[in-house]
A and B are shown apart, each in its own frame.
Chain A
């Protein structure tokens, strides 16, 4: 009996990604067709897993930048006097520079914007990441006056910590989803190896029956 047409049909069927294929048509498949079928099924999972991995790596990168920023932001231990003169207010400008630098280096757009918004409270920000900047020779945007350490913390330091917290929360959720996807993939891979074992057993049975 000529099986070549049946094999060809089965390979084509298994290679279709499209829907609505009658499962009964898959009663007989060649190993190649089975592998194509499995690869097609796994592709959807793999795409999602890859996206999640990339997102996690981005989040880790941004989180490290924010941690450094939190450590670097320094408004001193005493009340801060803002003069509003273009040649003064170095502390404010330094903090703004750090915020803008962080915004220029993180990858997440929401985090970029949040950092620039904070920097905008201190100086006039121009441009967008990765080329956002400010004019160090201009007056600061922060109104002249005296600001307590607590006031600067509320205005800048605590919101930076909040941005970090939001990033970490999102990252935690993504990790849970990623682990769930990995678990699904493991089930799929185990199923494939079970299929191959089942096929091997079929072959052995056939071989065992030959000559009897």
Chain B
């Protein structure tokens, strides 16, 4: 069953709120360098790249 446009827009707002909360948390960490969990970066790439615009390309050459 399809969700309606309104339901999807509501989902989008919820996602944006989650991102904003993450950004606030990150800002609280200041300038500390962190060792990035590589598998999560790759997971993020996979989630975004699979159907991404052709102008955005893979952000890493896998070693």
In the assembled complex, which residues on chain A have CB atoms less than 8 Å from the CB atom of B22? 35, 192-193, 195-196
B2 to chain A, nearest CB (A): 5
Summed over the interface, the residue pairs from A and B with CB atoms below 8 Å come to a total of 156
Total interface residues on B, CB under 8 Å, equals 48
Q: A31–B8 contact, CB under 8 A?
A: no
Query: How far apart are the CA atoms of A22 and B62 in the complex, in Å?
Result: 7
Q: Which residues of B contact A172 (CB under 8 A)?
A: 2
Residues of B within 8 A of A6 (CB): 33
Q: Which of B3, B8, B44 contacts A192 (CB under 8 A)?
A: B44
Chain A interface, number of residues (Cβ within 8 angstroms) = 61
> Are A178 and B8 interface neighbours, CB within 8 A?
yes
Given known contacts A182-B11, A189-B19, A195-B40, A19 and B57 CB-to-CB distance under 8 angstroms: yes
Q: Please, which residues of chain B bring their CB within 8 A of the CB of A194?
A: 40
Where the two chains meet, the residues of B that have a C-beta atom closer than 8 Å to any C-beta of A are: 2-3, 5, 8-9, 11-12, 15, 18-19, 21-23, 25-27, 29-38, 40-45, 47-53, 55-63
